[in-house]
Amino acid sequence: MWRYEKRLQFPVNIKEPNAKIASYIMSQYGGPDGEINASLRYLSQRYSMPYGVQKAVLTDVGTEELAHMEMIAAIIHQLTRNLSAEELEAQGFTPYYIDHTAAIWPQAAGGVPLNACEFQSKGDPITDLFENLAAEQKARTTYDNILRVVTDPDVIAPIRFLREREIVHFQRFGEALRDLQDRLDAKNFYAFNPSFDKPKCR
């Protein structure tokens, strides 16, 4: 289960509102490769994992992604608070404001709402771990894209932190994949699905 710890994993203190940048960073909240989808992906996959190492990594990384989801929400909140409708309009934020005012809602920068079709929980541990390696790279690329268009150091600091965490997670998933492969038949990793099949030579 989860407890809430009343602090952010990394501080977010933004002095200058900027709804335009907020609308871009929104993709890391509700976008296809954002923190919510990352968390749901890993927390969903862990139930069908056959061995402890993978269950642990998916649980712990999935939980950390919730903390990142919170940081992204904090960034968007601080970039859009205390602005008038006119200021939001001038900063290109009106379509979102019409439906959500200055609230936080999971959608991508382009307006596509969060969607479970954007991640997989496939029930085969090799498949799922490769999905996760790709997911961390997609998230890293998204942060790279964000960093090209942000100039405010108050925003850059937490975004850089989150980008580095994606790289570390990628490393951990690589290790989890190697650990899994070590437990399978080295001559044929695909002989059976350890999440589902009973091994045939039993």
Partner 1 sequence: MIRQLSEASFAMDDVLLFLDTHPGHPEAMEYLRNMAAARKAAIQALEKQGGLLFAEDQAFSGGSWVTERWPWEGGC
Residue ranges that bind partner 1, judged by CB under 8 A: 3-14, 53, 56-57, 60-61, 64, 70, 73-74, 77-78, 168-169, 172, 175-176, 179
Name which of 66 and 192 has its Cβ closer to partner 1: 66
DSSP helix/strand/coil, 107: strand
Nearest approach in angstroms of CB 17 to partner 1 is 12
Residue 67 CB, shortest distance to partner 1, in Å, is 8
Q: Round to whole Å and give the CA distance between 147 and 142.
A: 9
Residue 10 vs 130, nearer CB to partner 1: 10
Which of these, 45, 46, 44, 38, lies nearest to 68 by C-alpha position? 38
Cα separation, 11 vs 7, in Å, equals 8
Q: What is the rounded distance in angstroms from the CA atom of residue 19 to the CA atom of residue 28?
A: 15
Closest separation in Å from C-beta 74 to partner 1: 4
Considering the complex, what minimum distance in angstroms separates the CB of residue 184 from partner 1? 17
57 or 159: CB nearest partner 1: 57
Nearest distance in Å: CB 169, partner 1: 8
* Residue number, 7 or 148, with CB nearest to partner 1: 7
Q: How many residues does the chain have?
A: 202
Q: How far apart are the C-alpha atoms of 55 and 113, rounded to whole Å?
A: 29
Nearer Cβ to partner 1 (10/192):
10
Count CA within 13 A, CB hemisphere, residue 49.
Answer: 24
